[in-house]
Amino acid sequence: MTKAKTALKNWLTVAASLCAASNIVNAASTNLAIVAVIPTNAGKVNGVKNYQILQVGKSYPVSGTPANKDWIISDWTDGAGDVLSTNATFEYVDTDGTLTAHFVPNPFTNADLTGTYRALYYDTNDESVVRDDGYMP
């Protein structure tokens, strides 16, 4: 083999190795999104779609929309079950690609939650009320 052919072969081997290493780095820094709604059909997720490629550490604006007035969003969790937010809209920073929107029945409109509710409430704008007076905020 001539020096030129050997040099070309070595260059191609190095280039192929660099391409393979580049693909490994790219694969390690992305996740395939798994988006879920619990309970199913209680609402939908906007901003991130199932099987969307997400960059680890990148921020994605997401929001949860209830299917109807009988549901409200409770929280968002990741793949480990850790609560990421309790807001309907937030910035999801990808770590594991898993995002779950949890909805709960709306106690003010859901016909399945009939009954009498009693509690003590106080005016949160009244600074004269002491927090340990037996009232719930």
CB burial readout 93-103, b (16+ within 10 A) else e: ebeebbbbbbb
Contact, 99 vs 34, CB < 8 A? yes
Give the residue extent of every domain in the chain.
1-29, 33-107
Over residues 80-114, the pLDDT tens digits come to 999 999 999 999 999 999 999 999 998 888 777 66
CB neighbour list of residue 56: distance below 8 Å, 6 or more residues apart? 29, 30, 31, 94, 95
For 33-107, which CATH class?
Answer: mainly beta
Does the pLDDT of residue 131 top 60, yes or no? no
Span 16-28, mean pLDDT? 48
